Amino acid sequence: MLLVHKLEAGYGESIIVRDISLEVRPGQVVCLMGRNGVGKTTLLKSIMGVLKTRGGSISFMDADMTRKAPGLRAAAGIGYVPQGREIFAQLSVYENLLLGLESSKESRKRGIPEEALAKFPVLETMYTRKGGDLSGGQQQQLAFARALASRPKLLLLDEPTEGIQPSIVQEIRDVITNIKNQGDTAILLVEQSLEFVRSVADYVYVIDKGTVVAAGAIDEMNEDELHRYLAV
């Protein structure tokens, strides 16, 4: 579904991501792990097209996305939940959800799908509240539901459990597991918690200094090696 080949990306004169190759297959949950600052968020931004690449290629569902604008990638079926959520604070919950439909005319015609709201039912009770008035956990739920509104085939999640209370972390875990079991949407997930990753992921890529240094099925990864690359 997603094929990244020898990708290079960065900011200004700095190259952050170097020669990274990875793949995500249909229905898979693939996790990117590594210390803070090693290039995980930069990689997701490059896949989404928010950050231009310096080299390499990105293929999604056999189509070359390397030079495509973010809107075209979203229209092709890539959803994105950025680090920090990026909720529009002055817009209502309902208006924030509607923005998730802007990727295509077909999505706008369908409206907000029931299955997106069913995954986070509390949001329906908050339709008129401003996004900025929500708690951090509620904003994360909103960002997740907004990305699901367009029924993406690939979902990019950048640290969805960061700074979230345990009850909502469990809810997010359940939603990811449910999506995985349905088999319609693949997920590329950035996550620091090894316990969380072991509960949802099929495959892991470990990044250090902008390069993949280890990869494999989660149940085959060496615990000591993972901790070595995650330790501060």
Asked if pLDDT for residue 36 goes beyond 70, the answer is: yes
The proportion of the chain whose per-residue pLDDT surpasses 90, expressed as a percent, equals: 69
pLDDT tens readout for residues 192-211: 888 999 999 999 999 999 99
pLDDT of residue 232: 57
pLDDT tens readout for residues 154-182: 999 999 998 888 999 999 999 999 999 99
> Residue 193 class from Cβ within 10 Å (0-12 exposed, 13-18 middle, 19+ buried)?
middle
> Residue 36 class from Cβ within 10 Å (0-12 exposed, 13-18 middle, 19+ buried)?
exposed
Q: Which CATH class is domain 2-86+145-230?
A: alpha beta
* 147 secondary structure, DSSP code: H
Strand residues in the chain grouped as ranges (E): 2-11, 14-24, 29-33, 53-60, 63-64, 78-81, 154-158, 186-190, 203-208, 211-217
pLDDT tens readout for residues 37-69: 899 999 999 999 999 999 999 999 999 999 999
Q: How many Å apart are CA 217 and CA 44, to the nearest integer? A: 20
Query: Mapping DSSP to helix (H, G, I), strand (E, B) and coil, where does residue 205 land?
Result: strand
pLDDT tens readout for residues 91-150: 999 999 998 888 766 666 777 878 888 889 899 899 999 999 999 999 999 999 999 988
Q: Say what the pTM is.
A: 0.91
